[in-house]
Amino acid sequence: MSNFDLLYYLSQQKKLIDNSLRKYISFNSAYTKQISAAVKYALFPGGKRLRPILTLATADLCGLKAKEALPCACAIEFIHTYSLIHDDLPCMDNATYRRGRLSLHKKFGETLAILTGDLLLTKAFEIMVKNGITKKILPQNLLKAIRLIAHAAGVEGMLGGQVVDTCYPVKLITTNTIDYIHKYKTAALIKASVLTGAVLAGAHQKKISALAVYGEKIGLAFQIVDDIFDRDSTKTSYIRFYSIAECYEKAKQLVQKAKSKLYIFGRKAYILEQLANYVITRTE
Ligand code: GRG
């Protein structure tokens, strides 16, 4: 695998995912024109597509062709996109820009931004139920995947982390609070993205358990790197408690731990190793 080109791999997977995402947003009637435009703006050109890329990678690792896992991978990207739109709203992070362009509510107004987030969240589940079963995916495995994705997006996952991030009194925030926020707000959906591919493939429990640890560790490392990018030392950031060097060290250790869980897959885990490295070497 010495000639493996990670950036090329990421761009190819992004293309695959983008083509699939496009298929799910063709609900254009005279009455849905506005929200259709808003959904397109939110999804394209999009970001790194890290979560669906992880889903396709673990599906492949566990013996399921990546394209079989595309509906669930796209549904996860829909949920991620909804979370960014709502997070940017004036009542949350009040962000003017996202991915170098106006945030959705700045471009389309707050009402449409809230509704676009709601649309993406509900559509995600419609896609999984409607398109998730293929010849190679057993219905019970799809059901398990939907359940774990719903859990990761909900109050014991991303939404729960966001509640603490946005509503917890700032003066009570300790490193434990920040660990909690990171684990739920960010790592939960990344972990679910990793597990979804394996669950759809019907992987053995031993593999699922190893991937659960891998997913959570890279999810935490991802958020620490995000904190470093933000350099925001005021609220719920690692930077508030640790130096940049300490943050990098923590992220590196998490990635090391994540990769150490992959030994049961042998050389086939090469792509997941590279994706773990990417979480801390990425520049955006
Ligand atoms: C609104 C319920 C609700 C939750 C929002 C995830 C989240 C919770 C808010 C996003 C705030 C944020 C910027 C968190 C940092 C980690 C993160 C999710 C960064 C953005 O993810 P990337 O870098 O985005 O994967 P791209 O643009 O590549 O898709």
**pLDDT tens, position by position, 175-205:** 999 999 999 999 999 999 999 999 999 999 9
Per the structure block, which two tokens stand in for 42? 């939110």
**Which pLDDT belongs to residue 232?**
66
Q: What is the mean pLDDT of residues 203-231?
A: 95
Phi, psi of 133, deg, nearest 5:
-85, 125
Nearest alpha carbon to residue 218 among 249, 194, 237: 194
Q: How far apart are the two ends of the chain, measured CA to CA in Å?
A: 25
Q: Whose CA is nearest to atom 27 of ligand 1?
A: 47
Q: Which residues contact 174 (CB under 8 A, 6 or more apart)?
A: none
Per the structure block, which two tokens stand in for 118? 């709601």
- Substitution site in 80, 84, 93, 283 for ligand 1 pocket (most atoms within 8 Å of beta carbon): 84
Which atom of ligand 1 lies at the shortest distance from residue 161's CA? 8
- Gap from CA of 277 to ligand 1 centroid (Å): 19
Compute the mean pLDDT over every residue in the chain, rounded to the nearest whole number: 95
**Which pLDDT belongs to residue 31?**
82
Place of tokens 């799910």: 24
- Gap from CA of 80 to ligand 1 centroid (Å): 7
Is the previous residue joined to 45 through a cis bond, with omega within 30 degrees of 0?
yes
- Substitution site in 79, 97, 226, 228 for ligand 1 pocket (most atoms within 8 Å of beta carbon): 226
| Residues within a 6 A CB radius of ligand 1 | 47-48, 50, 83-84, 86-87, 99, 158-159, 162, 185-186, 223, 226
Which atom of ligand 1 lies at the shortest distance from residue 85's CA? 1
Question: Residue 63's CB: how many other CB atoms inside 10 A?
Answer: 12
- Gap from CA of 83 to ligand 1 centroid (Å): 6
Residue 150 vs residues 115, 145, 156: alpha-carbon distances, Å: 19, 9, 10
Determine how β-strand 97-98 pairs with β-strand 101-102.
antiparallel
pLDDT band at 236 (very low <50, low <70, confident <90, very high): confident
**Which pLDDT belongs to residue 1?**
63
- Residue 209's Cα: distance from chain center in Å? 19
Quick one: what percent of the chain has pLDDT higher than 70? 98
Does residue 85 register a pLDDT over 70?
yes
Which atom of ligand 1 lies at the shortest distance from residue 284's CA? 23
The pTM score is 0.97
Phi, psi of 97, deg, nearest 5:
-125, 150
